[in-house]
Structure formats: structure tokens, C-alpha cells
Structure 1
Amino acid sequence: MTDDPNSQSRNEQSSFAMMCCAHGAETLVKEQIANEGWRLAFSRPGFVTAKHDQPKRPPTGVFIRTAARSLGSAKNDHSSVMIQKLQQAIAAETVPFDQLHVWPRDRTAIGRFDFEPGIDEVSAAVADEIWSALHDGSASNGPGLTCARPNQIAENGQRILDVVLVDPSQWFFGTHEATTLPTRWPGGVQPIEPAYEPISRAYFKAAESVAWSGFDMRPGDLAVEVGSAPGGACGRLLELGMQVIGVDPADMDPRIADHPRFIHYPARAGDLPRRVFRGAKWLLVDSTVKPDATLSTVRNMVDSRETSFRGLLITMKLGEYENAAHLERWCNFIRTWGVERLEVRQLARNRCEVCAAVTLPA
């Protein structure tokens, strides 16, 4: 659908929301929010807006990366005109914004042409322009900004002004309150600057999954990664000071293989005696097999008397987004393990896959 909800008359009994997701996941987002009573409006791959006839918080869900209360939109080739439109859109807001987050929608599928989500040069330049116009209450119209600069990680409870570049000449405006960790990151993408060049993009997936899960991973803890080659995720775990066991028939990068806190088992996890995993507190699984096989392997590891895992980070490969229809069945299978907590999210760094964070009883 192509209608812009911001062109419709607004009233206190209606809710308007804008959401970002991975390029290709928007169909799943649309299905979810339609079931919750939202009426679809303007959308593009990776970006969805909707209206609800009742006062509602913006939707959340497995495939919704960011969600905000929609404030308006603008379309023009000149940024100065767009900023004026933004000021008009926020004029009714009475409280200053604590943070300004500006980012582009995903322009293509993650990994295609090496694309990665997050702030690009255009959105960074736009953020600077907006911040200059609105910061410290200097805006001629609207509540202004109190942040020292744009696109910073927000603190819990802070009020954020969101600007999504659907295209460089088309912006959507919204606001949300920082609550969970992903809602504190600009565009829901973890800002991270590795000390060294990561071995693979799995480094970023591991970093995001560890942070999002809230697991209390500490230096000295023993972690196991199944599907570890060539070592991107292991690199992040080692960077956090952990002892790491990597399980993968393929070779590890020498920088990981030679690390004093790393042990490599060139085998499949199901072929190893469970005593190999004694004392391991954390298990990460990111294998190129179907979720049913992945979960079967994990269950056998968890059920062993030799293991005492506390937290699991399991990547479930969808292959095609249509396979998300099996997600409820996979989650129900995980729950049969007697878990304390299960959360599932398509991480910003996930391709056509989701991550399950599972807390097991101590």
C-alpha cells in the first residue's frame, strides 16, 4: 500500500507507528501488525508505517528492529526544506528530545553486495544538519535537542527523536523512549568499533547477540561455539576475556587457533563426548544446517549430565522468510528443555535468520 498515514487527520484516539526491519522481512511485520489491528499505510522494503484506531504503543516483534510513534514525513530534494518540515512536525511536542537518531532503511538484503545495516555517510551528514538546527533549544520551532551530538547510544528512559531516511529525499519522523538495549542504539544497530579487523562478520553477530541477551558473561567464563570456523564470533568471546572452545570440522584462522585461551575440536558437536564441554557456562551455535537439526544437537548437549550450560545463543537459519511459520514450533521445542527464559529476535546483523537467547536453570 502507498498511503502516507501522516497525510490523514490525527486525533488523540488514533495511533500512528513507523517500523524498520531487515530488507525482505517487511511482509512478516505487516502480517503481525495486521493481526494486532493495525492498518497498513506507506511502506517500502525494510520500512513499514501503520495506523490504529485506538491509542496503542508502537508494535514490537521478532522481526521489528525499531518502532516509533510516527510524527510526520517530508519529501524534497533540499535538506533545509526537510528540516523545516521536521520542525513543523515536532512543534506540538512540549518536552525536549534527549537524543537524535538518524539512519537509512536497509537498501538491500544484509550481505548482498556486502551490505551491512547502520548509519551511512548520507545519514550521518543529515544528522549533523538536523542537530545544528535543533540542539540546545536553538530551534525556531519545536522543543529542540539536549544531546551533545547525534547518533549516540541513549540511556534508559531517554526520549529519542527518530529520523529515517527512506530515501535521501524522503524522511520519516518519529519518537520513542529508550527501554531495551536495541532501542538505545541508533536504528537498532549496535555501534561497535573492534580493536582489530574482525576475522568475519560473525564477530558483529556475536557482539550483538551477547549484548542483546543480557547474559552475565565474565572474563574467565568458559564458552563453547558450535560452527566456529573461521573464528569471527570466537574472536569477540576472546576479546571479552573468556576461555573458548570452538567446534567445527573446518580450519580456524591462525589468529584464533593460536590464542592461549582457545581450544579447537575439528569435529561435529554431535560426534564429541559430552565431557569435552564440562564446566562450560555459555553455548553459541551458528551452524549452516536447518533449525530442526540445530535444535536436536543443542538438546542432546543440554540434556547430558556432563554439561551445565547457563545460557544459549542459538542462530536458526530460515533460508526463506516463509519458513518463519515454523518459529512457534521451534520455540515450543526449546521450552520442553525446562528453560527459565526464551527470547527470539532477528538481530540487526542477522541475515535471513533469527537468534534465540535461552536461559537455563542454574
Structure 2
Amino acid sequence: MAIIRKTIALGILLAIAVAGYFYWWSQKPITLDEPAIPFTINKGSGAHAAGQQIAEAGVPLQPLMFNMLARATGKSSKLKAGSYELKPGTTPLRLIDQLVRGEFAQESLTIIEGWTFRQMRQAIAAHTGLKHDTVGLSDRELMQRVSPEFSEPEGLFFPDTYLFAKGSSELDIYRKAHSAMLQHLKDAWNGRDPKLPYKNAYEALTMASIVEKETGQKSERAMIASVFVNRLRIGMMLQTDPTVIYGIGAKFDGNIRKKDLETDTPYNTYTRAGLPPTPISLPGRQSLAAALAPAKSDALYFVSRGNGTSVFSANLTDHNRAVNRYQRQ
């Protein structure tokens, strides 16, 4: 009987020791030799397979211990497939929670104000963290998947920095950026000056895209918008070079010539009155605000001083003087 009692006692002590070690191990940060280790959990993986995939990625983790911990916590069937990143300070228990919550590795993509949709597509196609599922789609086909109510994509995506899980669909980025633009446009439209000469919010978006391309000076955007709004009101040609350049397209070599201003295209605002048929860039929040709340002025002309700022004039005589002074000198 004494031997049996000793054996039982020894077993209990051993179980306590194992349990203590297991608890200590689950709470101890995993030692890393680098800032972070990326790994992927494949679809349909159980806790054992997940542990093996993590270890094979270079994480110093014992798959058997990981499997036991997942089962002990009742979370072995709740692990989410996807791409992750193990960072310093992460314990095995925290790692389990990370997989259960689906805290995927974050990627980012920045869409720049003033980019064209073509430039946006190029940036998205080049991003290595995205699933490239729009390759081969025309712009119109892509818009059908993003927002069927629009056929032309230009201007309909908000320039911003977007965070996403590694391996996300390109369509997710397009849909996020499109939804963001519609919301910003709606907010600006709802707060607009009711006397503005726009038939609808899309025309305001087109104006904002022109303002975006006309100046890099945020402080001048409201005045630039004022000039073009004033021209629209009196039926004067907008005569803005960025629309002509957009109409030239990929053939534009960096120089705009007299023949370019005289060659008619749907976007040539020297040969056609009113706004162009679509936006010409992706406008940011400030350009949207300027288009829908332009400065109160009688200016009809502006010319660059050559230092990033402009001189605004209400008549052609004053404008020509400014041109002579700052451009022709």
C-alpha cells in the first residue's frame, strides 16, 4: 500500500509539474531573432497543421505544444486561415488569440491626390500584398464589379492610405476607395452653395478634379475654383490646360503646344464649352471643398507668378499685364 501511495503521490506531483511548466510556457514570450516573422495558415487547417505551418515559417514554436494549448483552451476549431505576422513579445497564448480573432498582417497602399485612375490601377497592380484579381479587366468591366451605376471610373476613388490584410482582393481596395469618395462627395454636396452652376454632384466632382490638377497650393484652391465657376456662370470657355493634357492621354510628352490647344477632343476646354465629360483626376478633400464652396470673387483669369502662387484678375487687361510681368517679363 505504501508503494501505491508513493506512486500516486509521485504521479500527482509530476502532473502538477507538467501543468506548471505548460502554464509557464504558454505565458512566456516566444523568442525571436528578427523584428517580425510572417506566416500563413492555410484554409481547413486544424490546430496541429497550423502549429506545423507556423514552425515551418521559422517561428521557434513546438507544434505539439501549440496543438495541446489550442485544445486546452477550447479554441482548436476556431483558428482563422490567413496571413499573419508574429511580433516580439507574443506569447503562445496571445498567438492563439491572434489566430482566433483573425488579426491578419496589415499591408498599406497610398493613393495620391491628383493621380489619374490609370496611375491608381498601376499602383494597385504593382502591390505585392494584394491578390491580383482584376488583371485583364477593362476599366468599364472593373467598374461593373465595383459600382454598376457608373461606366467611367475617373475621379470616383478617394485618394488616401488604405490598410488591408495581406492577400486581400484588389476589388476590396477599389470598393473601399469608391465608397469613401461617394461619402466625401455627398458630404460636400450637401453643404454646397445652392447658387453654384452644377447640375449634379458628378459635375462638382469634375470641377474638383480640375482644381486638383491646376494648383498644388492648398490655399489657392478656393480661388481657382472661383475663376472656373465664374466662367461657367457667364458661358465663358474654361480654357484649362490639364483637361487638354488629359484628352491627349498617354501620347502627352510633357509639353503642351498651340496645336494641342486647337485640336478638338471631348476634354479640350479651349474648343468646347462647359465642363469635360468626366473628371480628369482623383481629387482630394480640399479640392472637393473648394469646388463646392469656392471663394467669393469676380476673378475670371489667373496666371502663375512662377513661385507656386498665382495672380487673379477680373478682366483681360489686368490679366495681360500680369502675364507680361510674370510670364513674358
For Structure 1 versus Structure 2, the TM-score category normalised by the shorter chain is under 0.3
RCO comparison, higher one (Cα < 8 Å, 6+): 2
TM-score by length of 2: 0.23
Structure with greater proportional strand content: 1
Structure with greater proportional helix content: 2
**Rg larger for:** 2
